[in-house]
Structure 1
């Protein structure tokens, strides 16, 4: 794409040589897409215009394969249990009213493909990008989370990418001074060559500080500020995330973006001061597609016109061509629209924070995005055609031929442990398995408590942050997804991710409000994958409708597959909730000896897709657990009202009651003696939904049972906390087995350090 100055491909040149060959296929465009661009412009595009359309019409930026299914999220009522959403789908991030004049902004996105190519920088810039989405809304970032997926723990590829990804997440977030309050680390063979690095950020703002991305006001100035534009990330995530990886690696390997968290920290503080000074009329972060995205989106969302002088963009590399400048995804950059009367104050604030700023253009009412390079016009396009009017594919989708056979192969038929010794061995085996083991090797690389407002973090069920120091208002966030459930039934799998995240927020005592999603799937050109995607979207939409939790926005990541092997469909769902007083939150671990242990909810024979089937039998088949929205809502209402009564609450999900007992006992080294009625194996390892393990003071059992009855939540007394072992009794051979906490801890905590040594 690079051309010398004398051979500059201007609009005038493009109008006179319509037959010039152009590398549209190399840039990821299809033949009909290139023809459509020529139709829009009435001529061939210049090389700069071709660069803009190629990145903005990529899968990652345009959602061309997913739009038809994502539209249904807009049909949801745009209101949370605490009031109308302040900003939602289509903005940089969702914004929710949480009361007391406060709002929170949150969003989850992917940086999967760059993290495979260059693990450290790919993950680091994923954190940087999602944080800029938050500050673009006018919010101060206060926390991050990182749902991660890797190949098997013993795979060479996992050992290549995992350390770098974790170091990148921690290195960038720690330097920004943002606590990492949760996430996931899941291992499965389908993620070999396709690790998933999803990043979530939460920000806080007052209602009056909300900012939206648009360029209005003829004559207002367009200012680019932050880091200089370089050659890193040219095409970046916009092209890289729109390609399937073959067996030898990515089909295209543009340079992965290089992050500078210290510059981002300056950018955050500078931007917040610019807001406080009221010198910003519109703002947009520069993420995927860089200047191509920022200019076209700001112009199309405003009065419809912008004139940019590209040669005024500060560069790290003076040899960059106009095309490369437009495609560069260099990090730590923002674009603002500023009234001329405020430009001196704007630039003074930038100088104070040592943030470089340059006026590169102005807002017009021409309805055109015009970009000049040293006085010659290289781009003259309707901005909406770049930003919002890309191709929309209604790709064919079909239930795969193998789905029926997969669902018929249920795990309920697999051989089960029957004796106390076998049950005991299974509890330990699951606790030490990669997906359930201690993740401290990862999370100890993150600062979870910086800024002093972290209330709950890993290994709690959800992360919780205090928002207001005086009233103790706070928010809670959880991210969840079981890809095995989604493979068995993508409709139910998305709903299971939703209800688990919803339940995790509720266990801490928060009221779930709204959803952000990161939908990770294989190639959209595979009808089976598109069927999974369509099913997951519909399932999530209907689930959100049942729970009253609107989708505020999110991200789609497609082409996550190596050759013909797609990842498990992984619709990660983040739920944010609000708690009025974080000092009254409910922890997930046992708090004291002599407290009563109860299981809330109904246990059914639901083993397919379970951690037991995966770890013990390496089996995947059958139907996932049934979703019961009425039961989930009743349970959440019980947990919300039970704040102050409950001593602890731990949701039951992966590993069932077995893992909940283990995790509840480990943090404070408090054991329990419990007795299981009926089938002890199912009681321990089934993964039925809408269940929570709770404890309560011995003299409060009647109060707990009355509250459960009020909400129609089944409550079964299991036993009592205390001692230094888990003692489980029931109608199985031996009648009882005992697991010293020290033994469980040794197995649970050794897995990751041993593997990564």
Structure 2
């Protein structure tokens, strides 16, 4: 029996009758993989989501985390507040995927992904203050990949810039297995306090359900079920109606209207209209409160004539919010909506019964009203049976190392689109709007000012498809450590994270085995680092005629520090500065693993995945301490592309670097990508050694020079490149697209 037939039998047994067409469509969408997580939910219990700082964890539109307060006498002393114990400053964290829509229509698909995650932020009572975008495409040398890349970036920049929310970070990766199915993962950070907090839990029978925002049209119909299927060869034409069309100017009005509604305490609960449209938002809202609703669908303000009840329920038209409002406050909500030129419909009531939707034509008598949906809201939202799928352990990679030539390898890795400058991308984003951004995109992590809490918030986001393709579990552990290291080199302590778990068709045992691996790996390292996973998103069926995507665990992690001032740049260094490499156990033992590295990808080699450090928390704490020390001139993460890329990036910020490394393996020393390492440019190397004593190795590998050249001696090989030559090679994306 197929899953659809089995679901149908279960629904008929629950209802005691055949479902109506509208009910059948609601169940199809809300019981889809995209909404119900039928294949992934059994695995997600691996994540640790609780912590003293966690106010609202997984299950709502976004998570809510309390920011720590810092002792002014010491930048390193901070107090993590108990959740809900005070009205201090909170942030929201949320992440979403808009993968299939971005393949079919890259501009609108990516743009509405931004709009959706921003509305998730609004529904918690927060004001959006920062975005990150993690993007994954097929090989950069493919024309179709570049077409999707340009369209997605254009859509993100247009929407984000118009609504005035800065895009401060993210990542861009190219891998041939994304050719038929790119990924667009968008995260948002919002700001609020305890008094402004709203959830998606309906509060009281008798309250009104009010729809505020754009009018409802026929765009995005069936988007949830579309997102739960493999992409077909003709998806770009056949599935275009399932892609929503966004209006960022309406979203900006909605942001400001929501702010006033929250300020005046008019909202009891809220849900943004995303997957499955009004049917999804309203049924989930009342189900979370153990309640029901009575909705009169013809009351919904519409922009197209003759819409059917099913279309009104399932359309995923953008820029809409569903609010629970006390009856006495409805007129004031309508006034605020009118002031911001937004539509407003009182569509029904919260009840203590079933979730009921009725409909009548405008000219019909009330006696002609039809009941099109009458189901238990909790059964609709939570009744989908989970899938118990078989899985295979991914095969271990073999060892096949390519011939090594220092200059050829260095130029290839530094000039790869994966490790090259992403300046072409982030300079299209307005990262300064809101005047909070201290460290902009392009660094290891962004840093934004939370003046309300007198602290800085560091944000890192991304994954590493080469790593998780080579070894899903170890690669995902490395992704978590890499994001945490990006925060530590900015002097921030990790606070919390959200994930977007992307995989192929889970019905294939090898694909599901890889997906299970990234869940276990991410969960394991985050638990080790004491970083709660407070929310996230799952996107499966990222499969097409070209095959499944690599298992891709995008992580968006935030950390805090006492100061929000930008750390010093390496350009402030003088000639006496010493360059240290901290945390590289492989260099000390002269034993390197290159699995998952860009070096091997460039030369079609294989190798085992590197062993990660066993004391990662202690290493990050030491690195955070060093990054905040006055004698530290610069700190820089070492990971993607290895030491070679980190040196290339650092030399563009300094007068020059002279580097010498003693090793029998030049390729291993320069190009292995084990995370948890960093370059430290310091005027007090002994202080750094003392901080890392007993924690991790510290190697002195070079010094600054005045000639503007990177000179690298590795074993018996020497390479020299000017900063200008390096910058030109790292501009491969700009050179191709401009």
Q: Per the shorter chain, which TM-score range?
A: over 0.9
CA contact (8 A) 2:180 2:545 kept: no
Distance 1:398 1:530, change over 3 A: same
**Aligned-pair CA distance for 1:208:** 2.2
1:117 aligned residue: 104
**Counterpart in 2 of 1:630?**
615
Q: Which portions of structure 1, spanning 4 or more consecutive aligned residues, are displaced by more than 4 angstroms?
A: 250-253, 587-590
C-alpha contact (below 8 Å) 2:167/2:431 kept by paired residues = yes
Matched, 1:255 2:248: no
Query: Who is 1:705 aligned against?
Result: 689
The CA deviation string for residues 370-407 of structure 1, in whole angstroms up to 9 with x for no partner, is 1110222111000011112212111111225xx14xx2
Match of 2:66 among 97, 113, 118: 97
Question: Which position in structure 1 is the counterpart of 2:673?
Answer: 687
How far 1:593 sits from its partner (Å)? 2.9
Deviation at 1:641, TM superposition (A): 5.5
Contact 1:65 1:393 in 2 (8 A): yes
Rate the CA distance shift 1:227–1:115 in 2: closer, same or farther, 3 A: same
2:43 is the counterpart of 1:43: no
Assess if the C-alpha contact under 8 Å between 2:49 and 2:534 holds in 1. no
Residue in structure 2 matched with residue 317 of structure 1 by the alignment: 304
Aligned to 1:65: 39
Secondary structure of residue in 2 paired with 1:284: strand
Aligned in 2, Cα 1:77/1:383: closer, same or farther, shift over 3 Å? Answer: closer
Aligned residue for 1:350, secondary structure, equals: helix
Q: Which residue of 2 aligns with 1:454?
A: 437
Is 2:347 the counterpart of 1:360?
A: yes
Map 1:394-413 to 2 at 5 A. Answer: 394-399=388-393, 403-404=395-396, 407=397, 409-411=398-400, 413=401
Task: State the partner residue of 1:414.
Answer: 402
Preserved CA contact (<8 Å) 1:123 1:169 = yes
Q: 1:588 to 1:614 in 2, by over 3 A?
A: farther
1:253-275 deviation digits (Å, cap 9, x = unpaired) = 54310000111011111111111
Contact 1:480 1:498 in 2 (8 A): no
The match for 1:393 among 378, 387, 392 is 387
Aligned residue among 20, 26, 29 for 1:52: 26
In structure 1, C-alpha distance between the alignment counterparts of 2:141 and 2:736, rounded to whole Å:
7
Alignment check: 8 A CA contact 2:710 2:720 kept: yes
Counterparts of 1:719 and 1:77, CA distance in 2: 42
2:464 alignment partner in structure 1: 482
Q: Report the TM-score, using the length of structure 1 for normalisation.
A: 0.90
Task: Provide the rounded CA distance (Å) in 1 between the counterparts of 2:126 and 2:507.
Answer: 38
Q: TM-score, normalised by structure 2?
A: 0.92
Q: Is 1:529 aligned with 2:511? A: yes
Partner of 2:5: 31
Deviations 1:262-293 (A, max 9, x none): 11011111111111101111111111111111
Cα drift, residue 713 of structure 1 = 2.6
Change (3 A) 1:365 1:171: same
**Partner of residue 574, structure 2:** 593
Give the distance between the partners of 2:528 and 2:734, measured in 1 at CA. 42
Q: Secondary structure at the match of 2:17?
A: coil
Contact 1:602 / 1:714 at 8 angstroms: preserved in 2?
yes
Answer yes or no: is the 8 Å Cα contact 1:625–1:689 preserved in 2. no
Cα shift at 1:722: 2.8
8 Å CA contact retained: 2:175, 2:465: no
Cα deviation per residue 1:704-754 (whole Å; 9 max; x = unaligned)? 222222x62321111212320011224314xx33211111111111x1133
Structure 1 residue 563 corresponds to structure 2 residue 560? no
Give deviations 1:90-149, integer Å, cap 9, x for gaps. 111111111351111112211000000000000000000011111111111001111001
* Counterpart in the other structure of 2:737: 756
Q: 3-state SS of the aligned residue for 1:245? A: coil
Q: Please, which runs of 5 or more residues in structure 2 have no aligned partner?
A: 70-87, 361-368, 587-591
Instruction: Map residues 199-214 of structure 1 onto 2, 5 A cutoff.
Output: 199-214=186-201
SS at structure 2 position matched to 1:428: helix
Q: How far apart are the structure 2 equivalents of 1:489 and 1:681?
A: 21
| RMSD (CA atoms) | 1.8
Which residue number corresponds to residue 348 of structure 1? 335
Aligned to 2:73: none
Does the residue aligned with 1:479 lie in a helix, a strand or coil?
Answer: strand
Find the residue that maps to 2:46 and give its secondary structure.
Answer: helix
Deviations 1:220-263 (A, max 9, x none): 11100001110110112x02211112344367554310000111
Q: Which residue does 1:511 correspond to in 2?
A: 493
- In 1: Cα distance, 2:375 partner to 2:142 partner: 48
**Where does residue 747 of structure 1 map in the other structure?**
729
Q: Tell me how far 1:639 sits from its aligned partner.
A: 1.7
How many corresponding residue pairs?
A: 702
Matches of 1:633 and 1:118, distance apart in 2: 45
Matched, 1:135 2:135: no
Give, in whole Å, the separation in 2 of the partners of 1:310 and 1:249. 31
Contact 1:671 1:726 in 2 (8 A): yes
Q: Distance in 2 between matches of 1:491 and 1:589?
A: 35
